[in-house]
Amino acid sequence: MFRDRLLDGIKESRMVLRWIFFGIFLAGLVRAFFSPETFGTWFGPTLGGLGLTVLVATTMEVCFEGSTPIAADLLTRSSALGNGFPFLMTGVSTDYTEIMVLKETTGSLKLSLFLPLVTVPQVVAFAWLLNSVAA
């Protein structure tokens, strides 16, 4: 039984590991093309950096596992404690899949669009608070 569980776990982890490796690849591209100074200026602990972080997270649409290495890079290279949080959370709350699951569950597209309408401002406010406390 232990052997079967172990083999099944390895087989099922392939999907998650694929996204993690894709995130590591993207974080490597970011490190290759952006100097730490430029990255810190664009995605720093300012309101503009926070807005750019939310914009990139919304348009990138990479799952949580793939976004984690990039969020770690945001935390370490831009010195913005609060920018990693909205990068992870706004990607989830504006994800097409989650919105369509809510649409199928509730039967209403208007109701399912409340997910990003309610969560994104809360995430941005909390991230701004994190940036202001850490500064």
* pLDDT digits 0-9 by tens, 78-99: 878 888 888 888 878 888 888 8
Of the candidates 44, 66, 62, 61, the one whose C-alpha atom is nearest the C-alpha of residue 53 is 44
The CA–CA distances, whole Å, from 95 to 23, 77, 82, 92 equal 17, 26, 20, 5
Nearby residues of 133 by Cβ (< 8 Å), 6 or more positions away: 81
> CA end-to-end span of the chain, whole Å?
52
Of the candidates 56, 51, 27, the one whose C-alpha atom is nearest the C-alpha of residue 125 is 51
60 has pLDDT over 90 = no
Q: Please provide the average confidence, as pLDDT, over all residues in the chain.
A: 87
CA distance 91 to 93: 6
Is pLDDT larger for residue 62 or for residue 32?
32
